[in-house]
Structure 1
């Protein structure tokens, strides 16, 4: 039950973030559900590979390169989904940072 609740809350959060953040657009709640699924798959499959490849840069930047990896994941999700769009790298970076922070807070409250 907790997984379904977190999934739905994350979809609501992504829908609201895309509606309120400048530079990010989403078609509807169904697109938000699809975005959560795609982001979950990309974070599980592609993100570890990108983190491993970018390890030297991540060490040099004291971890700030991980923000670039998160923005890249959001931009890849933008390319895969027709109902979600970000206007550029800065918008993807802002979307990924706010989504991460709000999702972490929701996860602490739900758990």
Structure 2
């Protein structure tokens, strides 16, 4: 049993772009501006296009950078099947002071 969240006007709030008002279409115009949106209908970008988008669009840059910064803010730990090799990698990264150097880049 789910309850709709209602706004101050008493109408249910739409919580997702795919959950739209399903009013009947009138004439040639559909009452819902999102009725043509479907997930997975976009085209895939190539490496060059992605690089240009990252370089020239601050929103695209934030989509990439913010999660990476959040995940590595407190450092990182390498997990591998071979624990001895993982320890060697981590020791070398510590010798290079990699975490501080990555922070200094930003």
How would you bin the TM-score normalised by the shorter chain?
under 0.3
Q: What TM-score does the superposition give when structure 2 sets the normalisation length?
A: 0.24
Q: Which has the higher helix share?
A: 1
**Structure of higher RCO (CA pairs closer than 8 Å, 6+ residues apart):** 1
Q: Which has the higher strand share?
A: 1
